[in-house]
């Protein structure tokens, strides 16, 4: 299998809804693992997912999902599962019937459809409610049955639009564990979420969107390193924070050194992290006992704030 056939590729993709911009000039190449789409309302997250799955067609550009074009549903949906944000279902069906009938559309026989349906329902912990009508499900249960529908045919690419919405903390943790397990199996997971700390915990890479444009993509640390406008923040835990601050402050690549609120460390802002770490090694040999050194702003929340701004509400 060549590289392109194991990636989700967008080449100069734009989508306009009449005069309204959906996404513009998107170029992406997404490897396996968990990739999060992050951005405020209307930034183009759902449009990107709908483009990936052929629910909408690009105004220009080319998309390829593991080498398959989205306008070829017969091949595409053998390898792709999509959990949409639409909270609607075919009328009058039980959870089991919903998954089972969907699998029958694949051409599976009764026994195989039934087995796959039950397995998917079990994976999302809905076995007890499988025989109940979906209309009577809670929000979290509806979210999980949609997830079951997306994973029931064992796809290689899972596209999940706000999959953690409406889930209680316990189920949320179970679902995140399920995502991790699926990613470990070599799947591509594309997740959009507005819960940034969860994105931070589960993602291998992020794609940040704003107003229809991709503003950053890649591993979160790599993205952070490339944001030169905002000095890197490092929290150093040590026994003599005041002395440490005075020793590092005169260096021109240190922008700010502030004693931490608990007086047990120093929060440093630096323009050159590599030179700063060399300096820190020297200081450590001069009698200050350093307990830990940790980056303080290489998480999704910080990157999001730096690139998109705090005033924009996340979805």
Partner 1 sequence: MAVHKRSYRSYAGALTPAWSRFTIITRYAFKNLFRSKMLTAYFVCCFFYPVGCAAALYLNHNLSFLSIFKVHEIFAVDADFFLHFLGVQSFFAFILMAIVGPGLVSPDLANNALPLYLCRPFSRAEYVVGKMAILVWLLSLITWIPGLILFLIEASLSGAAWAWANLGLAWGIFIGSAIETLVFSLLSLAISAWIKRKLAAGAALLGVFFFGSGLAQVINAVLETKNGYLIDLGNLLTTVDASLFGHTDVVNARISAGSAWIALIAACVFCVALLERKVRAYEIVVG
Partner 2 sequence: MNERPWGLWWTQVRAVMRLELKKTLFSRRGIWVYFLAFVPVIIFAAHSIYMMKLGRAGDIGEDTHTFAEIFQLFYLRLAIFFGCVGIFMNLFRGEVLDKSLHYYFLAPVRRTVLLAGKFLSGLLAASVIFGTSMVLQFVALYWYFDSSTRQEYLFHGHGLAHLAAYLGVTLLACLGYGAVFLAAGVMFRNPLLPTAAVLVWEAINAILPAALQHISVIFYLKSLCPVTIPGDISLDKGNPLGFIAMNPAPASAVTAIVGLLALSIVAVAFSSRQLRHMEIDYGSD
Determine, following the binding rule CB under 8 A, whether residue 197 of this chain makes contact with partner 2. Answer: no
Q: Least CB distance from residue 201 to partner 1, whole Å?
A: 34
C-beta closer to partner 1: residue 14 or 97: 97
Q: Least CB distance from residue 98 to partner 2, whole Å?
A: 8
Residue 106 binding: pick among partner 2, partner 1, none (C-beta 5-8 Å cut-off by kind): partner 2
Determine, following the binding rule CB under 8 A, whether residue 86 of this chain makes contact with partner 2. Answer: yes
Determine, following the binding rule CB under 8 A, whether residue 55 of this chain makes contact with partner 2. Answer: yes
Applying CB under 8 A, what is the total number of residues that bind partner 2? 29
Determine, following the binding rule CB under 8 A, whether residue 19 of this chain makes contact with partner 2. Answer: no
Site for partner 1 in 110-149 (CB under 8 A): 132-137
Residue 149 binding: pick among partner 1, partner 2, none (C-beta 5-8 Å cut-off by kind): partner 2
C-beta closer to partner 1: residue 129 or 157: 129
**Cα–Cα dist 309/230, whole Å:** 12
Determine, following the binding rule CB under 8 A, whether residue 82 of this chain makes contact with partner 2. Answer: yes
Q: Least CB distance from residue 154 to partner 2, whole Å?
A: 13
For residues 147 to 176, the per-residue mask of contacts with partner 2, x marking binding by CB under 8 A and - elsewhere, is --x---------------------------
C-beta closer to partner 1: residue 132 or 240: 132
C-beta closer to partner 1: residue 25 or 133: 133
Q: Which residues bind partner 1 (CB under 8 A)?
A: 132-137
């Amino acid at each position: 299998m060549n590289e392109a056939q194991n990636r989700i590729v967008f080449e100069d993709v734009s989508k306009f809804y009449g005069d309204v911009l959906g996404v513009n000039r998107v170029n992406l190449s997404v490897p396996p693992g968990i990739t999060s789409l992050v951005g405020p309302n209307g930034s183009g997250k759902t449009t990107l997912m709908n483009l990936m799955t052929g629910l909408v067609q690009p105004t220009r550009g080319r998309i390829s999902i593991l080498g398959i074009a989205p306008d070829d549903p017969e091949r595409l949906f053998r390898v792709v599962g999509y959990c949409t944000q639409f909270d609607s279902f075919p009328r009058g069906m039980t959870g089991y019937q919903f998954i089972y009938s969907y699998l029958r559309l694949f051409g599976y026989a009764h026994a195989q459809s039934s087995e796959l349906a039950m397995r998917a329902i079990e994976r999302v912990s809905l076995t007890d409610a499988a025989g109940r009508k979906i209309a009577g499900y809670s929000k979290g249960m509806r979210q999980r049955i949609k997830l079951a529908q997306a994973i029931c045919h064992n796809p290689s690419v899972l596209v999940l639009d706000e999959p953690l919405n409406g889930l209680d903390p316990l189920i949320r943790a179970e679902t995140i564990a399920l995502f991790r397990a699926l990613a470990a199996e070599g799947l591509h997971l594309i997740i959009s979420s507005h819960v940034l700390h969860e994105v931070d915990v589960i993602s291998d890479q992020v794609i940040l969107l704003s107003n229809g444009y991709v503003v950053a993509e890649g591993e979160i640390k790599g993205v952070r390193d490339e944001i030169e406008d905002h000095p890197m923040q490092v929290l150093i835990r040590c026994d003599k924070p005041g002395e440490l601050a005075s020793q590092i402050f005169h260096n021109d690549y240190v922008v700010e050194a502030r004693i931490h609120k608990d007086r047990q460390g120093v929060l440093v802002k630096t323009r050159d992290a590599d030179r700063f770490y060399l300096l820190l090694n020297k200081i450590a040999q001069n009698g200050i006992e350093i307990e830990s050194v940790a980056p303080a702003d290489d998480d999704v929340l910080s990157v999001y704030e730096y690139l998109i701004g705090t005033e924009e509400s996340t979805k």
